[in-house]
Amino acid sequence: MPHELPKTYDPTAIEDHWAEFWVRENLFAQPTPEPGNDADQSFVILLPPPNVTGRLHMGHMLNQTEMDILTRWRRMCGDRALWVPGTDHAGIATQMMVERQVVSEGSSRQKLGREKFVERVWEWKRHYGGAILDQMKRLGASVDWSREYFTMDERLSVAVREAFVKLHEQGLIYRGAYIVNWCPRCQTAISDLEVVYDEHKGHLWEIRYPVIGEDGKDSGEFLTVATTRPETMLGDTAVAIHPDDERYTHLHGKKLRLPLVDREIPIILDEWVSREFGTGAVKVTPAHDPNDFALGERHHLPSINVMDDTGHVNENGGKYAGLDRYVARKEIVQSLEERQLLAGIKDHVHNVGHCDRCKTVVEPRLSTQWFVKIQPLADKAIEAVEKGHIKFTPEMYAKTYFEWMRNIHDWCISRQLWWGHRIPAWHCANCHKVTVAREDPATCAHCGSEKITQETDVLDTWFSSGLLPVSVFGWPKISQETRADFDAFYPTSLLVTGFDILFFWVARMIMLGCWFGGDVPMADGSPRELKDAVPFREVYIHALVRDANREKMSKTKGNVIDPIEIVKQYGTDAVRFTLASMASPGTDIAFNVARTEGYRAFANKIWNAARFIFMNVDKAAEVGISVDRSVLGAMPTVGEDAPLEARWIVAELHATAARVNESLANYRYDDAANAIYQFFWGSFCDWYLEIVKLRLNFETQPVRGPEAALTTLVGVFEAALRLLSPFMPFLTEELWHAVYEGKPPERSIALTQYPQTSSYEGDSTRISFRHNYDSTVLEMRVIQSVITALRSHRKDLGVPEKERVPAVIFCAEEDGSLTAGYMVEEANRQLCDALARVDLTLKMERAPVGVKARVEVGFTVVIQYEAKIDVAAERERLTRDIAKYEKGLAAAERQLGNEGFLAKAPAPVVEGLKKQAAETKMLLDKARAALDALSGK
RNA sequence: AGGCGCGUAGCUCAGUUGGUUAGAGCGCUUCCUUGACACGGAAGAGGUCGUUGGUUCGAAUCCAAUCGUGCCUACCA
């Protein structure tokens, strides 16, 4: 069956087909292994769950490309590879989205009521929630779709409830009134990490608070405070000054009358107050500021909440009640001014916190919330990394991790939302105590009353996603029958994620994983130690994908690159390769489509190499020669008697495979990708294919030569496809199937063996890669440099491209015997003849002076061609060369004359430099002679 | 305010423990539509490695200072 491939590679024509094929065939499903399997053989990776409302962006694509490369690589290396996909229910984002939808229909969340609204969210999720995973399917991510999770799934919800109840039993969950970041628009508490600070030009209002005299009446004196949020004064319960502030010593023990509210408040002394800032007197509003709250605790001050859920002044605000916080601010400032209590307004630049989701200004607010007492969990999480049970790449992120973990605050886990895991706590109307339970209780655990109602708050989304590494493998329901997954797949091998997620997934998964993973005994029944309780053994952190100008992508700037669009234009493989080749650990990726264009060209190059190969396979078939496909699938080998190019390309393939395997083991996707690129294009196509063309003359040559050449050609190509496959799964899948002409030994290239160099050892009739690599490559390099010198020289002389010309290569004694040794071989001279289009003669002597020549280390070539020599240009070139050589030689001689260098530098370095100096001297002499000869004319 | 990075060719980036003449892709110049490929081939040009000082026989690499630049954390009213 002849191969029919179009001249240009068109990714769109094949990618959909294979993407569907991989999913349909369930190719990457990793069934639960039989008990007793070695967990060390597993490579397990959990997709950091994208937001269910999300669309795929470049960051995801980078993240997934890296995971897919590793997973495909480990799978092909023989590991039990498992990549588990899923999505996160994303409490606030999803609720917001559906709420907007409901409002656009003229209804509202409140009108629908909790139950109906939650049903609406589920409905939305069923219809649109799979978008990002569908995109993943199209991009060929080799995940196990049969294990797809959603954080609100029943089995994962069981884990959430278990974790909550357990932490509660352990005394690590408490409920209380504290200052939290409150979003008045989302009407929920949000985490510190969901608050983004923006610099904002505001004001510092200075307000005069009347001092109350001994008699209980205003003394006529004032204490001036400074504030950026004057409206919070309605809730002031003190004013604080520094105890050593001499300006205010006489006010110690006095009271003030809070303007507009007429409340008597004390002056308190606290060293926290900065004497330099503002007026040195700070109003204290414990219900609306975390620092003030702490002051209030220290000084036993009451907290007066003056704001409601929506950011409006509440009934405690007297006549300002009902006003929006900014309207209230304006009116309060005006009232103060009218009463001459405003001492001044100064411009003040400060940071204002905004809700990460909706950009509304966050209101620090006292409210009753549920918290996790985090220190015990953090301690374990710190220990796990300190002891090396979890390794970070790049290492510097461990520092960031420690920094954050060591300064951690208790975790506010309650959210005033409807979409999420509802907190399993019931309040009793009778005894007012709380019942926390695994199963919904009918009565209060304390007094037996039936008048109990479930807590309305839900849990922070991270509470559930942080549990994923344990929960996706069955925790907490680990029994003798159900534990096979956990035994085989926990701890997972690796988490791949962006640095911006360090404190979300990474930190939380480590804390919760170490805490609950340890509950599950090992397969042999022994207790699980911390090193095996960790959720993953390694963390690889990648950087940000920026635009071509290194700008951060953002919707407002309009510079967002949609990966799907780029994929449509250039093909998935090209985009993947772009990301991989730039994914150097710790460096942001400036995504430039010019580069993707280059890798599309690379794909096209391989495609055309395949066309060439298939063309020859077909030609061979016509004369009855067929390729022995039974030798494919392993690492190609050749005998010592094989022609140079065959020995060389096989040696290069082995070297490349070694480098790629090593690079991937160190997360050097860039090194790995570049090594393959260099091999495929620079070695295989540029040199090997050009040479092998000479061998594939089926009509005129004896059969054995072309047949052997064809076998090596196909063998190396097939192995190289496997090497490239994790990076370019689509192209390689297509061509690999074509190599086997529809009768492949596996369903997919992804299930074949990854090229390894170790398989090359042990067979003495074959050249050993390690043993012969150097000599083969050296020989080839010499041939290449001769060919390049000839080509270059042709250009200098202006020889027409197609013209075949006589040439002489001079290898004098002083040049050493290396080149001469190789050029004595007729086969090698023939290679030079063919690739440089010359008729080459070897002369073991010095090149004649005064002849236009090309001088190289080890040899000189002269092409016999009548050419007009541009004397001026030639002189300029020689002069430039001489200067370069002189400089190099002087530097080398200076160092060689340095006794310290000779005494201390290692011998190979000294030897190398000596050799280099000699070579440079030779080149310099010849260049000088040539210049003299030129001038003599 | 603290912490962490980065500064190498026109652009985007490699350069692992200091060691021979600092690499790649894209872009650029010249020539070539030769039977795999013009998304191609061939040959080239292009860098005092931000600056200054130090350690060393030897520094892009280590140290210090300095300039520039980016990010993270905190959030003094």
Question: In chain A, what percentage of residues exceed pLDDT 90?
Answer: 46
- The gap between A799 CA and B38 C1' (Å) is 22
- The gap between A273 CA and B68 C1' (Å) is 37
Instruction: Report yes or no for ipTM above 0.90.
Output: yes
**Closest nt to residue A241, judged CA to C1':** B77
E strand or H helix that includes residue A930: helix A907-936
E strand or H helix that includes residue A590: strand A589-590
Are A496 and A171 contacting, i.e. CB atoms less than 8 angstroms apart? no
Residue A249: name the closest of A284, A277, A275 by CA: A275
How do beta strands A805-810 and A838-843 pair?
parallel
Please check the confidence at residue A766 and state whether its pLDDT lies above 50. Answer: no
Choice between A107 and A935, residue whose per-residue pLDDT is larger: A107
Residue A664 φ/ψ, nearest 5 degrees: -65, -35
Q: Identify any residues that bridge with A843 across adjacent strands, giving them in sequence order.
A: A810
What's the rounded mean pLDDT across residues A326-336? 91
pLDDT of residue A389: 93
Instruction: Name the residue closest to the C1' of B2 by its CA.
Output: A403
Choice between A210 and A702, residue whose per-residue pLDDT is larger: A210
Residue A660: name the closest of A685, A635, A637 by CA: A635
Instruction: Name the residue closest to the C1' of B44 by its CA.
Output: A792
- Name the pLDDT band for A896 (thresholds 50, 70, 90): confident
**Closest nt to residue A225, judged CA to C1':** B77
- DSSP classification of residue A50: P
Tens of pLDDT, residue by residue over A542-554, are 888 888 777 788 7
Tens of pLDDT, residue by residue over A389-445, are 999 988 888 888 888 888 888 899 999 999 999 999 999 999 999 999 999 999 999
The Cα-based distances of A377 to A167, A320, A383 in angstroms read 10, 44, 10
- The gap between A176 CA and B37 C1' (Å) is 71
pLDDT of residue A869: 66
What's the rounded mean pLDDT across residues A65-93? 94
Instruction: Name the residue closest to the C1' of B74 by its CA.
Output: A407
Are A247 and A269 contacting, i.e. CB atoms less than 8 angstroms apart? no
What's the rounded mean pLDDT across residues A734-758? 91
pLDDT of residue A887: 79
Angle at A509 between CA A504 and CA A510, to 5 degrees: 110
- The gap between A795 CA and B29 C1' (Å) is 14
Tens of pLDDT, residue by residue over A820-853, are 889 888 889 999 999 999 999 999 988 887 778 8
What's the rounded mean pLDDT across residues A100-112? 90
**Closest nt to residue A283, judged CA to C1':** B77
Tens of pLDDT, residue by residue over A234-252, are 989 999 988 888 888 888 8
Tally of residues, chain A: 937
Choice between A432 and A818, residue whose per-residue pLDDT is larger: A432
The Cα-based distances of A842 to A654, A730, A820, A847, A919 in angstroms read 33, 48, 8, 11, 21
Nucleotides of B under 7 A from a protein CB: 3-6, 11-15, 19-21, 24-27, 30-34, 36-44, 56-58, 71-77
**Closest nt to residue A571, judged CA to C1':** B39
Please check the confidence at residue A22 and state whether its pLDDT lies above 60. Answer: yes
What's the rounded mean pLDDT across residues A459-482? 91
Show the beta-strand stretches assigned E in A32-78: 42-46
Residues 6+ apart with CB under 8 A from A401: A385, A392, A502, A506, A507
**Closest nt to residue A5, judged CA to C1':** B36
What's the rounded mean pLDDT across residues A267-277? 87
Tens of pLDDT, residue by residue over A861-873, are 999 887 666 677 7
**Closest nt to residue A606, judged CA to C1':** B37
* DSSP per-residue string spanning A855-876: EETTEEEEE-------HHHHHH
- Name the pLDDT band for A39 (thresholds 50, 70, 90): low
- The gap between A795 CA and B45 C1' (Å) is 15
pLDDT of residue A765: 38
- The gap between A314 CA and B17 C1' (Å) is 65
**Closest nt to residue A674, judged CA to C1':** B24
Q: Can you tell me whether residue A430 is helix, strand or coil?
A: coil
Residues 6+ apart with CB under 8 A from A163: A463, A467, A476, A512, A516
- Name the pLDDT band for A61 (thresholds 50, 70, 90): very high
- The gap between A928 CA and B40 C1' (Å) is 39
**Closest nt to residue A894, judged CA to C1':** B57
pLDDT of residue A704: 63
What's the rounded mean pLDDT across residues A437-457? 92
What CA–CA distance (Å, rounded) separates A800 from A504?
65
Tens of pLDDT, residue by residue over A716-727, are 999 999 999 999
- The two structure tokens encoding residue A846: 């010095």
What CA–CA distance (Å, rounded) separates A715 from A301?
82
Task: Give start and end residues of each alpha helix (H) in A542-687.
Answer: 563-570, 572-582, 593-622, 644-665, 669-677
- The gap between A406 CA and B11 C1' (Å) is 42
Instruction: Name the residue closest to the C1' of B43 by its CA.
Output: A792
The pLDDT mean for chain A works out to 88
Choice between A663 and A199, residue whose per-residue pLDDT is larger: A663
What CA–CA distance (Å, rounded) separates A152 from A87?
9
Based on the number of CB atoms within 10 Å of its own CB, is A34 exposed (0-12), middle (13-18) or buried (19 or more)? exposed
E strand or H helix that includes residue A854: strand A854-856
- The two structure tokens encoding residue A9: 């590679």
- The gap between A586 CA and B13 C1' (Å) is 12
- The winner for highest mean pLDDT among A101-110, A808-817, A900-909, A928-937 is A101-110
- The gap between A905 CA and B47 C1' (Å) is 27
Please check the confidence at residue A132 and state whether its pLDDT lies above 80. Answer: yes
- The gap between A506 CA and B49 C1' (Å) is 36
What's the rounded mean pLDDT across residues A303-329? 89
- The two structure tokens encoding residue A238: 């003190």
- The answer to which of A96-100, A189-193, A435-439 has the lowest mean pLDDT is A189-193
**Closest nt to residue A682, judged CA to C1':** B24
